Amino acid sequence: MQIPRLLMQQKYAKLQMSTTPSRQVIEQPRADLEIEQPKAVMNITRTPSKLTIDQSEAFADMDLKSIFRRSEEWAAEGKRAVGEGMGRRAEEGSELIKIEDGGNAIAEFAKINGGPSAKEFTIGVIPSFFSVKVNYQPSELQIDIEPQKAVIEATPHKPIVTYYPGKLNIDMLQYPELKIEVDDTG
């Protein structure tokens, strides 16, 4: 007996896959930044310089004196002259007591005290060396600085994330097929 033969023809399925890759975009906006620098507090204290020039001795050397100085000198000269006069009179009195010893004491006194006294003369227009006193006190400067801290305000921004998902497309290019035929020819 003859068994019929089976003829099979088969086509495999063909798939086509296409993908679109996923994509992620991240943007980071810059932070808002405000910086303020206050000025430093500065204090400057200065004492003025002082220059003192004392010419009173130079003027006194040239006989240009204040009335107060002249009064002091006249008072001192008067005291000296009174003391000198008292001493002279005491000496003259002592000599007059001894007049019996001889001599001509009264004529001598008249000769000494009767004439004008010798005047002193000096050139007083040139002051003596170092008669002008100069004193200088320099100024003092004090600087106090108090620095101020910077004021910084930062406002951060969150990142902007955008996600595009990927895609997978599957297409059937060829469907599977199976043909079975019976061959009795044989």
What pTM value is reported for the model? 0.37
pLDDT at 61: 78
CB under 8 Å to 61, separation ≥6 — which residues?
124, 126, 127, 128, 131
pLDDT of residue 14: 93
The Cα–Cα gap between 83 and 71 comes to 18
pLDDT of residue 122: 63
Contacts of 156 (CB under 8 A, 6+ apart): 31
Query: What is the reported pLDDT for 126?
Result: 74
Query: Following DSSP, what letter does each residue of 105-135 receive, concatenated?
Result: HHHHHHHHHHSPPPPP----SSPPTT-SEEE
- Mean pLDDT per 10-residue section of the chain, whose length is 186 residues: 83 93 94 94 94 88 84 92 89 80 76 73 70 92 94 94 94 92 78
CA distances for 98 relative to 40, 94, 104, angstroms: 96, 7, 11
pLDDT at 60: 82
CA-wise closest residue to 143 among 45, 49, 48: 45
Rounded CA separation 12/174 (Å)? 8
